Amino acid sequence: MLTRNQLVGPWAGLPVAWKEDWSFDEAAYRADLERTCRAGVPGVYTAGTSGELYAMEFDEWKAISDVTVDVCRACGIPSMLGITSTYTLGAQRRAEYALKIGADAVQIALPYWLEIKDAEVIPFFKDVAASCPELALTLYETARAKKCLTIEQHREIQEAVPAYLAVKSNANTVGHTSEGCRQLSEFVNVWVSECKWDELGPHGAIGCASALVYMNPRVIMSMFRMLQRQEWDELNKWCAILRRHNTGLDPFTQLGFEDTAYDHMQGAVTGFLQMHPRSRGPYISCTPEHVAQFRAWMQQNVPELLDLGEASDA
């Protein structure tokens, strides 16, 4: 099983490559996954929001998982599979398959259709973890699941499921605050977006589920080394650049972009990801024209992020 020391840094949360007929484009996904692994990321995961967990059938999830684990194993990079489902048995089936094919970890959010009750939280995690007893478990905490956990609930989960080692804390969750991050960091790793590393790093944040490391691995890996060395002033400069970069996404927010559309665009804007940026409906899909528009904005406003350079300090 992976340790907390291995669940750090910017794990690449790759989007899925789809063909024009919306079937899985294995060749394109495999090529981009290999490129990402060669860039030296600490880990790769799929079937989060960027990986469109909500927009694929179980057999498609298995096909994408097979490729992810296969490529990561060949490259010597740990793999993590998202196993989120709307019901316990669905998550258990994914957990069992992740264990069967040799994934290193699983990531799960609370069931998101009917809001889960307090009394159902611990049994849910115990039931899912029992289906993959040899795998590290990370929690994807998001307000989209309709329920945000307390510090005490996180602690109870960790006591009931020792494999719970890290939480991806998003906006409006307890780990996204200074005090909450500090308290959570006492018993699990806290992941937040890279642009929050300067703010929450001093309170224990130590990683992220990254949609930017496959935009520019040179910069994001360098920022992670700054986080590890606690070089807060230098890290603040780069976090400010990322926050400026985020303002360039505003026109696409107005178009209705959601996570995977943004992430396809950001991976494509530097040319690092070469898969087509399309994503499945009903959600709006990024197009090559959107990519070109965003690249022009970045050239004017954050040219540092377009320079892939070498995988060395930024």
Tell me which of 3.40.50.720, 3.20.20.70, 3.40.50.300, 3.30.360.10 is the CATH number of domain 4-305: 3.20.20.70
pTM of the model: 0.96
Average pLDDT over residues 38-62: 97
Would you list the DSSP string of 73-140? HHHT--EEEE---SSHHHHHHHHHHHHHHT-SEEEEPPP-SSPPPHHHHHHHHHHHHHTSTTSEEEEE
Find the mean pLDDT for residues 214-236: 98
Distance from C-alpha of 188 to C-alpha of 204, rounded to nearest angstrom? 10
End-to-end CA distance of the chain: 32
CB 121 within 8 A of CB 109: no
d(CA 184, CA 187): 6
Q: Which residue, among 193, 198, 196, 185, has the nearest Cα to 231 in the 3D structure? A: 198
**Mean pLDDT calculated for residue range 304-314:** 73
Percent of the chain with pLDDT over 70: 98
Region 278-298: mean pLDDT is 98
**Mean of pLDDT over the chain:** 97
Amino acid at 5: N
Alpha helices per DSSP H over the chain: 26-38, 58-75, 88-101, 118-130, 151-160, 178-184, 197-200, 217-229, 232-247, 250-255, 259-269, 288-301
Per-residue confidence (pLDDT) for residue 310, from 0 to 100:
64
What are the pLDDT digits (tens) for 164-209?
Answer: 999 999 999 999 999 999 999 999 999 999 999 999 999 999 999 9
Confidence of residue 312 (pLDDT cuts 50, 70, 90): very low
Kindly provide the b/e burial profile for residues 164-190, where b requires at least 16 CB atoms within 10 angstroms of the residue's own CB: bbbbbbbeebbbbbeebbbbbbeebbb
Amino acid at 238: W
Q: How far apart are CA 244 and CA 106, in angstroms?
A: 32
For residue 311, pLDDT over 70 is answered with no
Under 8 Å between Cβ of 305 and 219: yes
Instruction: Report the distance separating Cα 300 and Cα 93, nearest Å.
Output: 48
Q: pLDDT tens, 68-104?
A: 999 999 999 999 999 999 999 999 999 999 999 999 9
108 vs 90: CA distance, rounded Å:
11
Tokens linked to 181: 């991050």
Average pLDDT over residues 258-273: 97
Domain ranges of the chain: 4-305
**Does 313 score more than 50 pLDDT?**
no
The predicted pLDDT at position 264 comes to 98
